Amino acid sequence: MDDNRISNLIITLSSLYELLLNVGNSFDVQESAEAFLKKLMAQKNLSFAAYYNYENKNTLVKVHSIPKTRVQQYEIDGGLQEIFIHDQFSILDKTHPYFQFMTNLTGMPAKEYVVYYTGLKSVILLGRKKSSFIRQDIITWEMVLNKFGRFMESLQSHHRIKDEIRIKEEQAKIIEQNNEKLKKQNDDLLNYIRSNDELEQFAYRASHDLNAPLITIIEFSKMLAAQTEGALSEKQSLLLKYILESGLQMRSLVNGILDYSKITGTTLNLKNINLYESIETIRNLLYHSLNETKGEIIVKSSTEFIVADDTKITQLFLNLISNALKFRKEDVNPQILIKGERNDKEYKFSIGDNGIGIPIKNQEKIFELFSKVQRKGKIEGHGIGLNTCRQIIEQHKGKIWLESKPSEGTTFHFTISRMKLPASTKA
């Protein structure tokens, strides 16, 4: 090798290593690629330079190019894969079968391209518009370009690890925040349960303690009315009547609160219930009301057995049947029709009557606590019964709704989810 050739080789290697050293000034992938490609183009008289990652065995993904190209990633076929894998570099002129592929990839017409397979999965693509590449020069550049590819892959790997660490730190922070929220929600729930239990206990004690003086007021009012019959003025008799009616209304409200405090507990004591026997029990409880009104409870069709809480289901049917008797038409014998059916997921029941019906304006709020229906200027009930029904049904994972037309009667529909008996109950 002559002295000029050796001198050119030394100059080329020196300039390329200088390029490689300059790359280390930045730890940003884009900046490093841009700095290296700019100096390479200036020193080696290139019209195009680009750095790609070779991913998924058949896709080139652009990291940076000078000038910038529109194509960000490109599918490659098996033949080009072979060139990348088996040849460290390839010179592609217009006679090469993949020359047009490179033109499509870059969008930059060139006289020749050089493709380097660098690092472990990187591709450097160089192009010239006028002059041709000299093979000996390309061999000289090979070592430095390969080191650049390895450096870039390490830098990208470093960034990926940093990103993964950052993502995991963010996820850990989110998990910690969610745990704190969950802890707060649990604390709030425990406080709610505690306050709810205390409220139920208070409601039970208060309503129980109120019952005794109310009974005294009611009974003494009855005694006073009986003993003073005919001796009081019309106004005095009316005042005594108001006292008695108010006492009875208050007692009804207290009893409603007592029932509500007993029924609204979330625990279900599941049993296999014979509905026909439960309805017969309700007939006995309502014997006097049925006898006075000449009312009739008709079970047209129903599933005989259901798995549910016996006490709560009895209260549910009792409340709905009692309402049907209470809101009857004058001079019309009340008829209460009970129907039931079941499917794979739930039981469905309806309890219909031939009573006065519920005004449309009341139907949306009828299940709210202390919601009352007014009839002929008189407010009926204490507004607890239907809310209790909804509570019982929701505890049994069902829903309740109604159909009603004024003067034509009301039908309550409700569902109860089919449940399994606990193992201890089966035994």
pLDDT tens across 57-71, in order?
Answer: 677 788 888 888 888
CATH number of the structural domain spanning residue 119: 3.30.450.40
Cα torsion through 168, 171, 172, 178, rounded to 10: -170
In this structure, is residue 313 part of a structural domain? yes
Q: Which residue has the tokens 């999965």?
A: 121
Domain final residue, candidates 110, 134, 163 = 163
Q: How many helices (H) and strands (E) does the chain have?
A: 12, 15
In this structure, is residue 90 part of a structural domain? yes
Average of per-residue pLDDT across 358-371:
76
Q: At 10, is the pLDDT very low, low, confident or very high (cuts 50, 70, 90)? A: very low
DSSP tag of 294: T
* Residue 349 in this model has a pLDDT that exceeds 90: yes
Tell me the percentage of the chain whose pLDDT exceeds 90. 9
State the average pLDDT for the chain. 77
- Domain hosting 324: range is 267-426
Q: At 426, is the pLDDT very low, low, confident or very high (cuts 50, 70, 90)? A: low
User: In angstroms, rounded to a whole number, what is the distance separating the alpha carbons of residues 99 and 151?
Assistant: 28
Domain final residue, candidates 163, 192, 212 = 163
Classified as helix, coil or strand, 390 is helix
* Residue 32 in this model has a pLDDT that exceeds 70: yes
Q: Does 349 or 371 have the greater pLDDT score?
A: 349
In this structure, is residue 249 part of a structural domain? no
List pLDDT tens digits, range 173-200.
887 887 787 778 777 766 665 655 655 6
Tell me the percentage of the chain whose pLDDT exceeds 70. 78
Same-domain check for residues 159 and 273: no
In this structure, is residue 378 part of a structural domain? yes
Domain final residue, candidates 129, 163, 197 = 163
CATH number of the structural domain spanning residue 277: 3.30.565.10
Characterise 68 by phi-psi region: left (phi > 0), alpha (psi -120 to 50), beta (else).
Answer: beta
* pLDDT attached to residue 379: 46
List pLDDT tens digits, range 232-251.
788 888 888 878 777 776 77
Number of domains in the chain: 2
Q: Edge to edge, what strands does the sheet with 59-66 contain?
A: 73-75, 59-66, 48-55, 122-128, 112-118, 89-92
In this structure, is residue 87 part of a structural domain? yes
List pLDDT tens digits, range 114-152.
888 887 778 888 888 887 887 877 777 777 777 777 777
List pLDDT tens digits, range 299-336.
987 778 899 888 888 888 988 998 899 888 888 899 99
Q: Which residue has the tokens 């309806």?
A: 350
Same-domain check for residues 29 and 158: yes
Query: For the chain, what percentages of helix, strand and coil (3-state, to nearest 5) are there?
Result: 55, 20, 25
In this structure, is residue 252 part of a structural domain? no
Q: Taking Cα atoms as reference points, which of 136, 91, 93, 138 lies closest to residue 111?
A: 93
In this structure, is residue 169 part of a structural domain? no
In this structure, is residue 17 part of a structural domain? yes
Same-domain check for residues 274 and 131: no
